[in-house]
Structure 1
């Protein structure tokens, strides 16, 4: 598929693994990121790199003098818009092709999201919103049942979510979050799912896919996510209901002034589906997802986001549910209490975990037993921050052998 885009669009991202698919699919989109062994594998003038310093956030990239000079006359896309980015862009006269950070900030608030869902009658777990110091365990248990879940307004990959099984769990939480307001949810026994979408004059809702979560080998937090399995599908009738509800949510977001790429997390149980939170930004799956969409003949949601940003409507598509993807991915995070530096290169590993090719190309995966590791090497990785994106051409669900190999990869990369 050909994509009609101007040649002055730049994706500025501090983690190169999130840009690999973008480079592969869009021949006239450039990428600005930190230099690493992975970026050195891409022999392209469209990849502009600078050495990482102590601070490695997107705003640190933008403030680099070489980057500032490169971005003159360019339109910038960032993974997640923030106040510092928007202020810097205005001062330096370049356009940011992301929604206003204030609107995204509100939609990211899990407490406000619950109220938005209630307003439009979107299915979600029964909930209460109270100050942590004011609640009583038996009272909440009586209203929601036990165990129950506590979510604070902000956090990523499970860092703001806690399962409360007894009085002691709640007492421990109160010590750290006494003055905080939180959302208390009825615990839903089920599978964690997510979807990617674009909100606009015409909203496009992607096919739901499974989230990998709840394994302490990959994430320290209870229920914390660590990847996705794109190979599995829900019953079509259930998928249609979820997509219908997601469209209503997208329409409400658009009324609030939001547009562009977002993610929507939910749980599927025997009693139906229940929305948990909105991620009003690009999601961690955007790189591989863009590659899979393009390979399947779909207009990638990244492209739909850019169309909306440039004043054009999203492309209508007949039925995304017919598309079958064949990949899974794992996000490896630093689970230590200190910063680490990864020195290994990205590459393709065989079934015995031998490095057989230095590459970051998804197309290099030919067999279901091979593993592609895209590594963020050469810079300090802070606690709970991702340092590698692992891709396999098979399902990850119920496959302990694959998960064990991925865990072994962490030892090899370290």
Structure 2
């Protein structure tokens, strides 16, 4: 068993509108509290197993929909009262998925201990344009050819000559590929330019036969701990029609040589050391593009915060009796000593199912959130449980969005988590996953009525 007793007397509050972002350590740290805006069946599942959750929607059903981010949630009077009551005179530690200025101000105002980096240092590394310039200066061998400028000032013919068609335009900020644009011709360029003429963008060469590798890392004291690489799920038609939209990740990464893994680990450590010199501490993750035609590796993005995979990844770490990177993150901010021993062999996959039509994934909207087993083409509901690290072979967790939530095109409608791999060697979903997605709608309706 891992000894977490050094955190026994430290009240920690993870502030997140969505409970899914705050999961990971809720069952292993005795004074770890999740503060979320919106109700989700996971709220009751966590409480059932002894986790502590404050859900604002349970008492503020109308006002909660005005809260758009963790900073606004932290500033709500009922949240502040809850933190004060549970802290019992001790200084509360505040976690959040992504730094923002509101959290910086509130933590300073109320004397909270902020357990994430400042919004200023996050911007320095996470902004795609800033990081593009960093890779160009410090990691030229892993820099993807491109340019930066206001979209309205850039010339299509020049871009076409330098990068050839098609090429890719990205804004400085965006989530899951939603501000990444594929430019196939001058009309695509002019349409985008007309909408966002003053937007600072990076324009890069399009790699027509590539895949994305990602990892989770943590700066702890003088060390940079680097997790095993995963392959990003994107360009999979069953999950999204947009090839740039992220639809999950799988550990281990397929078709990644040991040599390439060593290069990715080495570059990740060097990036972490560079960040540490600027005062950055704790969790971050990197994205790498690998060109399958040439084998060349490019350093793509820096998620200078907790990553989208952090909760799921943490559960897998705990399932292997490995000290999670989140624990090293907390120890870094509390200046606590933990022996450095980190080399887990992570196996697991997280699929994000996005809306591509009104009916394509109706089944997942009908199912309860919980644990399932796939028997031939039918889903067997095993119970309202959530702990990916405890799953057995051929078991899955399905987490659906709220039934009354309005879901836009390419937004998440459900996620599937498993301790199995989900891709074959052709980068396609395995047959059992296709069966899971296509399991008949009637089964889902029967399960939802149990």
Give me the TM-score of the superposition, normalised by structure 2: 0.82
**Could you say if the C-alpha distance between residues 291 and 361 of structure 1 is closer, same or farther in structure 2, counting changes exceeding 3 Å?**
closer
1:356 matches 2:382: yes
Give me the TM-score of the superposition, normalised by structure 1: 0.89
1:328 matches 2:354: no
**Could you say if the C-alpha distance between residues 199 and 336 of structure 1 is closer, same or farther in structure 2, counting changes exceeding 3 Å?**
farther
Choose the corresponding residue for 1:178, options 197, 204, 228: 197
Aligned counterpart, 1:48: 54
Aligned counterpart, 1:294: 318
Note the alpha carbon deviations across 1:322-346, whole angstroms, 9 max, x for none.
Answer: x432211112345679xxxx78531
**Which secondary structure state, in structure 1, belongs to the residue aligned with residue 122 of structure 2?**
helix
**Could you say if the C-alpha distance between residues 224 and 330 of structure 1 is closer, same or farther in structure 2, counting changes exceeding 3 Å?**
same
State the distance in 2 between where 1:9 and 1:410 align.
43
Report deviation, 1:172: 2.0
1:198 matches 2:199: no
**Which secondary structure state, in structure 2, belongs to the residue aligned with residue 10 of structure 1?**
strand
State the distance in 2 between where 1:76 and 1:284 align.
18
State the distance in 1 between where 2:435 and 2:106 align.
43
Aligned counterpart, 1:103: 121
Query: Which deviates more, 225-234 or 279-288?
Result: 225-234
**Could you say if the C-alpha distance between residues 98 and 387 of structure 1 is closer, same or farther in structure 2, counting changes exceeding 3 Å?**
farther
Are the aligned partners of 1:230 and 1:325 in contact in 2 as well (CA < 8 Å)? yes
**Could you say if the C-alpha distance between residues 325 and 31 of structure 1 is closer, same or farther in structure 2, counting changes exceeding 3 Å?**
same
1:66 matches 2:78: yes
**Could you say if the C-alpha distance between residues 244 and 314 of structure 1 is closer, same or farther in structure 2, counting changes exceeding 3 Å?**
farther
**Could you say if the C-alpha distance between residues 140 and 360 of structure 1 is closer, same or farther in structure 2, counting changes exceeding 3 Å?**
same
Aligned counterpart, 2:307: 283
Query: Which deviates more, 293-302 or 276-285?
Result: 293-302
Note the alpha carbon deviations across 1:56-105, whole angstroms, 9 max, x for none.
Answer: 43234323333211212421111112111222222233222111111102
Choose the corresponding residue for 1:241, options 263, 288, 294: 263
Superposition RMSD on alpha carbons, in Å? 2.8
Note the alpha carbon deviations across 1:13-46, whole angstroms, 9 max, x for none.
Answer: 2222233332244344222224332211232362
Aligned counterpart, 1:375: 400
Choose the corresponding residue for 2:19, options 16, 21, 29: 16
Question: What 5-or-longer segments of structure 2 have no aligned partner?
Answer: 359-364
Report deviation, 1:378: 6.3
Are the aligned partners of 2:371 and 2:381 in contact in 1 as well (CA < 8 Å)? yes
Note the alpha carbon deviations across 1:169-228, whole angstroms, 9 max, x for none.
Answer: 212211212222211111223111101111243221111111101235534644111101
Choose the corresponding residue for 2:252, options 224, 231, 234: 231
Are the aligned partners of 2:229 and 2:252 in contact in 1 as well (CA < 8 Å)? no
Report deviation, 1:396: 1.4
Are the aligned partners of 1:202 and 1:313 in contact in 2 as well (CA < 8 Å)? no
Report deviation, 1:295: 2.5
Aligned counterpart, 1:112: 130
- Relative contact order, higher structure (CA 8 A, sep 6+): 1
Report deviation, 1:403: 4.3
**Residues paired across the two proteins, number:** 408
Aligned counterpart, 2:361: none
Question: What 5-or-longer segments of structure 1 have no aligned partner?
Answer: none
Query: Which deviates more, 291-300 or 185-194?
Result: 291-300
